[in-house]
Amino acid sequence: MSHVFHRMPRQAYPVAVGGEGAYVLDADGKRYLDASGGAAVSCLGHSHAGVIAAIKAQLDALPFAHTSFFTTPAAEALADLLAESAPPGLDHVYFVSGGSEAIEAALKLARQYFVERGEPQRRRFIARRQSYHGNTLGALAVGGNLGRRTLFEPLLIDVEHVSPCYAYRDQQAGETAQAYGERLARELDATIERLGAETVIGFVAETVSGATLGAVPAVPGYFQRLREVCDRHGILLILDEVMCGMGRTGTLFACEQEGMVPDIVTVAKGLGAGYQPIGAMIASSKVYEAILAGSGFFHHGHTYVGHAAACAGALAVQRAIAEENLLARVRELGAGLASRLRQVFQHHEHVGDIRGRGLFWGLEFVADKAAKLPFDPALRLHARIKANAMHEGLMCYPSGGTLDGRAGDHVLLAPPYILEEPQLDEIVEKLGRAVDRSI
Ligand code: PLP
């Protein structure tokens, strides 16, 4: 019996013992092509020598120094790099250990911002249905993934949820993408009016919907309209790029492709690429300066904030993305992956939608393509596809839709940026066999 408290205690897991580029190796010598980067994490694959050397060097020099006593060269250099690369104004980087912590920090900073400004009556967030922002209680509260939050509903702060931007299901026949985006902006506007703008702290959204919907980019103009609505009401716009940030969509920050800048952005997974557990909340000068001019103290913190070895690892990851010209590679490989997915799955009778951006793609499965009817959730189709893909030696990230029948099972692909062209073929071939065996 294993004494590890596994996520699914009744399941037997293969034992991972090695990594080689885009592959994970198990104890029986089987190789798995990591087409999902775990959960969109391992963007440099599993054996990047430069990153490993940088972490070792940091460990030799100093593994950890608590941030209530010290800063470190690694944290300073990584924050400089992120602030220089982020959209204008996003200059202040707060390090954490992962995505949920980044969201918690963002929610607390946003609340404190208004308290510092003398508006303590602002106490509510608005977020989106069918979204995922993490598994801690604050992050679950803003999230709209019913499967993950329903059990904990009684423990969650009160958050108002509006529609996600999900064109495949929600853009109406005859409605242009622009009109659809405007309709969603009006919904947010009306929600703020109904709650009373003076009680609202901010609006939270994933720039590209990840774990709940499966790599769904917004329609063009949507985020610009939302930015206008937030500005008109004086509320903060918080974008969650934990999954879609750090180059995953072909630009370092996904919001660079949306023509607007949020007040706070969160990143994690691709920041440390799995070499170290690390995330970050990046705040605009507007928000940061309110704290600086006010109490001068952010009422938040964890022991491992700015962990030296984690920052050194993430710094090496981010330098590799820049020096190895990987953003261009993401765009190029992403186009190749998209065309192969369309070739193999577009006419598949149970693939309703293929969507994504960069190296971030989702396939949504439907029982009836014309009616966009999801499979019965009890079939757990996504889990079957994942299991059959593992049998094939392929990792893909599954999700069971949204339980409310408003999205189907899907799988997410988020392979490493260092992938080779033939591995694109390997992904679609193995996934094709796994899908056919599952339905
Ligand atoms: N936000 C988004 C958009 C995510 O996709 C995730 C994880 O999948 C999180 C937050 C939570 O991140 P973590 O699992 O590192 O806490």
Domains in the chain and their CATH numbers?
16-47+325-438 (3.90.1150.10), 52-323 (3.40.640.10)
Residue with token string 């790029």 = 241
How far, in Å, is the centroid of ligand 1 from the Cα of 241?
Answer: 9
Mean per-residue pLDDT, 110-119: 98
Alpha carbons within 13 angstroms on the beta-carbon side of residue 102 total 32
> CB under 8 Å to 219, separation ≥6 — which residues?
165, 167, 171, 177, 178, 180, 181
CA distance 47 to 74: 21
pLDDT at 402: 67
What is the Å distance from ligand 1's center to 136 Cα? 10
Encoding tokens for residue 102? 């980044």
Confidence bin at 437 (pLDDT 50/70/90):
very high
Count CB atoms within 10 A of the CB of residue 387: 16
DSSP state string for 286-310: HHHHHHHHTTS--S---TTTT-HHH
Q: Which atom of ligand 1 is nearest to the CA of 136?
A: 16
Residue 400 pLDDT level (bands cut at 50, 70, 90)? confident
ipTM of the complex: 0.99
Query: What is the rounded average pLDDT of the residues 371-387?
Result: 93
Residue where the block lists tokens 């709650």? 195
Q: Does the CB atom of residue 270 touch ligand 1 within 6 A?
A: no
Cα–Cα distance for residue pair 265/210, rounded to 1 Å: 15
Kindly list the distances between the CA atom of residue 212 and the CA atoms of 246, 271, 369, 398, in Å, as whole numbers in the listed order.
Answer: 19, 21, 20, 9
pLDDT, tens only, 297-340:
999 999 999 999 999 999 999 999 999 999 999 999 999 999 99
Query: Which amino acid is located at 79 in the chain?
Result: A
Q: Has residue 401 got a pLDDT over 80? A: no
Mean pLDDT calculated for residue range 135-146? 96
How far, in Å, is the centroid of ligand 1 from the Cα of 391?
A: 26
**Protein residue whose Cα sits closest to atom 1 of ligand 1:** 133
SS3 assignment, position 38: helix
Q: What is d(CA 367, CA 3) in angstroms, rounded to the nearest whole number? A: 39
Q: Say yes or no to pLDDT of 242 above 90.
A: yes
- Residues 395-415 have a mean pLDDT of 86
CA of 219 to the centre of ligand 1 (A): 22
- Report the chain's mean pLDDT, rounded to a whole number: 96
Whether ligand 1 lies within 6 angstroms of the CB of 128 is answered as no
Query: Is any ligand 1 atom within 6 A of the Cβ of residue 104?
Result: no
Q: In sequence order, what are the residues at sequence separation of 6 or more whose Cβ sits closer than 8 angstroms to the Cβ of residue 395?
A: 24, 32, 33, 34, 35, 36, 38, 389
pLDDT of residue 1: 81
Which tokens is 241 given?
Answer: 């790029």
Ligand 1 and 214: CB distance under 6 A = no
Whether pLDDT at 405 is above 90: no
Place of tokens 């609202």: 200
How far apart are the C-alpha atoms of 353 and 349, rounded to whole Å?
A: 11
Q: What is the pLDDT of residue 406?
A: 77
pLDDT at 180: 98
In short, whether 103's Cβ falls inside 6 Å of ligand 1 is: yes
Say if ligand 1 is within 6 A of residue 397 CB.
no
Question: Which of 41, 42, 132 for mutating ligand 1's site (highest number of atoms within 8 Å of CB)?
Answer: 132
pLDDT at 403: 65
CA dihedral angle for residue 367, residue 368, residue 373, residue 374, rounded to 10 degrees: 20
Q: Tell me how crowded residue 108 is: count the other CB atoms within 10 A of its CB.
A: 16
Amino acid at 428: V
Q: Specify the length of the chain in residues.
A: 439
97, 128, 133: residue to mutate for ligand 1 pocket, most atoms within 8 A of CB: 133
pLDDT tens per residue across span 169-224: 999 999 999 999 999 999 999 999 999 999 999 999 999 999 999 999 999 999 99
Q: Which residues pair with 42 in a beta bridge?
A: none
CA dist., res. 171 & res. 220, Å (int): 13
Question: Which pLDDT does position 307 carry in this prediction?
Answer: 98
Asked if pLDDT for residue 375 goes beyond 90, the answer is yes
Are 400 and 147 in contact by the 8 Å Cβ rule? The answer is: yes
pLDDT digits (tens, 9 = 90+) for 32-55: 999 999 999 999 999 999 999 999
Neighbours of 194 (CB within 10 A): 9
- How far apart are the C-alpha atoms of 116 and 157, rounded to whole Å? 21
Name the residue type at position 131. S
